[in-house]
Chains A and B, each alone.
Chain A
């Protein structure tokens, strides 16, 4: 057996070109699997990270009714218009577990700075409550207090305008001058573009920007209470106030998660599809290489049988050969796959940036889990052996006379 194994390895060594080409086929197959799955896993992990970041003890109530489906939550357009009132705020405040109840109003406004004008969302709330509920935190300066003070989202201050906006600078909002008192931390976040919003006191929004009414009520849940339970209480109460009509939506952390999970499962399906196709492509590539490599040696198999090799010995030679190719092809494939995945993500990043989309999500990198490595190696080993075994068996089953006639 040892000699047979040596013969197999020897064969590989002495057919360098053939071995190299076969190995290349295997490497491409495995690399495409590892690269694409690794890239998809990387994107996946970024999304999962974003979900983790999502505030888990704040419930938001917004007017209109959304269905549980994947939609950009920062846009409330095109929904059945409902209204939130002071009465709603009072009633919610009475619910046990509702620690801080913050009504707010947001609107699209014109923001001017350094000669540039942007349309951004302003979010106006009570300064005290905002500070209590906010989980993003202030990077520079402080929260707004009163008057014409504005707090900027991270991207507004750092990225959107040609010139960075520092604290103590003046910006014009709908033509009214406001002083920048702080810049928020980078929030990231898939669900709401916190980084591209600006924040002002509610009283100032009313006085200077003529913004009134309530477009959102945020509720911070007291520690020890289940946010889900508090959310359903709020929902019941508001329904009661509207005599059963539902023209509002309570976004509990669960609700946000379930939407996030929908994105994630869409991602997972995509990932599964990519994996499946890659596996298929890889398997076909490996089989093809092994097949031709064995077929072209049919005559050699005839010679070996003529000098006394048994069927099993011939099978062993080819299985060891294809197993070795499968195994080393797998290892190289994992290495190259990493490169392919990074290349793919770099390309993706390039197109995302070129399209001018403001990405708040951090740049994904290839993620190769130990499971993926093991699966890729097992896969290439198994496919290598199988793809080698089928033609080798056919050749070994031929009458030697027939194999010797094979050209």
Chain B
């Protein structure tokens, strides 16, 4: 069974601007795929739908076989908590919380607060010495590592990364990509990477090219 499946997904923003026009996509467990395309092609919208951050106007998104259209807020929250980890372009850490607290946060919402695991993950991404810092005291690359640790803390099945290197210099960006692909290789977590940069996209096993809300090409290595 695919981890995430999109069946003829449409997303139309008011007033009648179609961002996605009939997307069909299956992501299998353990895959590393990238979705690439110019800005405005709908790739972020697609990622939001795959991560249950938004709902499609038409069509279905299935997470582990579950039709998200049929789920209420509590179940969608549970899916986001248990099956999905997000990494955003602008990190989206909570500024008032420390590095460690930011990573612990998803476990608080799942009712199984686990600071030990959070600490272990932060050590794994090389931030073991900066647990008590605030996000503002970190560099961009460090913040993205915090975000990656946070995405992993609830053992998700899939990590959705939206331009994770978009706000970083190329060297730092490369290091983040190394980290993500090694996670995919070593832990088997499914990885969906969104980028506008074909070079970045090439790191994936499967590359999906998008344009004007449609998948135009698919390349498998």
Contact = CB atoms under 8 A, between A and B. Distances in A.
Nearest to B101: A10
Interface in A255-313: 299-300, 302-313
A305 B78 CA distance: 10
A401 interface: yes
Contacts of A10: 96-97, 101
Contacts of A71: none
A401 B73 CA distance: 14
Contacts of B113: 3
Nearest to A307: B106
Interface stretch (B48-56, B176-184, B194-202, B208-216): B48-56
Given A308-B82, A310-B73, A4 B108 contact: yes
- The interface size bin for chain A is 20 to 34
Contacts of A35: none
A14 B154 contact: no
Contacts of A404: 53, 88, 92
Nearest to B104: A3
B92 A399 contact: no
A405 B53 CA distance: 11
Given A15-B96, A310-B73, A304 B105 contact: yes
A401 B94 contact: no
Interface string A1-43: 0011001001100110000000000000000000000000000
A400 interface: yes
Nearest to B73: A311
Q: Which of B77, B110, B113 has the most CB of A within 10 A?
A: B77
B80 interface: yes
Contact of B109 (A11, A14, A299, A309): A309
B108 to A, nearest CB: 5
For the residues of A in contact with B, the DSSP-based class is helix
A306 B105 contact: no
B145 interface: no
B77 A309 contact: yes
Interface in A375-407: 399-402, 404
Contacts of A401: 45, 48, 53-54
B57 to A, nearest CB: 12
A15 B110 CA distance: 25
Interface of A: 3-4, 7, 10-11, 14-15, 299-300, 302-313, 399-402, 404
13 contacts: A3-B111, A7-B105, A10-B96, A304-B94, A306-B86, A308-B78, A308-B81, A308-B110, A310-B78, A311-B77, A400-B52, A400-B54, A404-B53
The 8 closest A-B pairs by CB, nearest first: A308-B81, A401-B54, A14-B96, A401-B53, A310-B77, A401-B48, A400-B53, A307-B106
Interface of B: 45, 48, 51-55, 73-74, 77-78, 80-82, 86, 88, 92-94, 96-97, 101, 105-106, 108-111, 113, 150, 154
